[in-house]
């Protein structure tokens, strides 16, 4: 009886520990680079000089990631437990961007999103032209030289930006019933 009791405790402890240590597998990772150097992400805040920079996205067995870029909080202000508004229609709010990031811009809008993706059978994507593939991981870089403010259709050079930039990334499932898989918020503060 004592052996059976110890066996049950050991099994319960094993199940508890394995579920505690099990983590959700990331679908993407985002890095901010400037002058060839990876910049520190301090609790979701990255400090940049007011000049060209790169957003590097690692897609782990994921086709793409939706990106909201703005000065406001419409997406960025969501709490971790808040649902992404109108997630089922997120594809309909996606911008048409230049192929291979020829414009070197980041579109800012409070409602619309970008979709940065890579499909091996397609001969175009939204990242800079050269994509890196390491096993099942796709690494796409987006070089940013200026911001395109959709509301008034104007370009703002990075040197002239006065407000922090708020980025919200979300990976989803595909198909009719879209579900969120992962999200990330980053704020760019200017030096």
pTM of structure: 0.82
Query: Could you tell me the residue range of the domain that residue 90 belongs to?
Result: 25-190
**Residue 91 zone, left/alpha/beta (φ > 0; ψ -120 to 50; rest):** alpha
Among candidate residues 139, 138, 111, 115, the one with its CA nearest the CA of residue 126: 115
Two tokens, residue 134: 């390491």
The answer to whether the CB of 34 falls within 8 A of the CB of 49 is yes
1 within domain boundaries: no
The tens place of each residue's pLDDT in the chain, 191 residues long, gives: 555 544 444 434 333 333 333 346 899 999 999 999 999 999 999 999 999 999 999 999 898 999 999 998 888 988 888 888 888 888 888 888 888 888 898 989 888 898 999 888 888 888 888 889 999 899 999 999 999 888 888 889 999 999 999 999 999 998 788 898 999 999 999 99
98 within domain boundaries: yes
Number of domains in the chain: 1
């Amino acid at each position: 009886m004592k052996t059976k009791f110890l066996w049950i405790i050991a099994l319960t402890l094993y199940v508890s520990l394995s579920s505690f240590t099990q983590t959700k597998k990331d679908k993407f990772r985002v890095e901010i680079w400037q002058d060839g150097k990876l910049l520190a992400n301090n609790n979701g805040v990255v400090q940049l000089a007011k000049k060209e920079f790169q957003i590097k996205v690692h897609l782990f067995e994921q086709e793409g990631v939706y990106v909201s870029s703005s000065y406001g909080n419409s997406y960025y202000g969501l709490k971790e437990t808040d649902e992404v508004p109108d997630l089922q229609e997120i594809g309909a709010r996606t911008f048409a961007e230049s192929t291979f990031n020829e414009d070197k811009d980041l579109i800012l809008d409070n409602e619309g999103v970008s979709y940065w993706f890579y499909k091996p059978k397609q001969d175009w994507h939204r990242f800079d032209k050269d994509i890196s593939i390491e096993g099942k991981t796709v690494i796409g870089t987006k070089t940013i030289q200026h911001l395109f403010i959709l509301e008034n259709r104007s370009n703002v050079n990075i040197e002239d930006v006065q407000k922090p930039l708020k980025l919200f990334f979300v990976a989803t499932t595909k198909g009719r019933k879209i579900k969120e898989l992962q999200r990330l918020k980053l704020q760019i503060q200017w030096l």
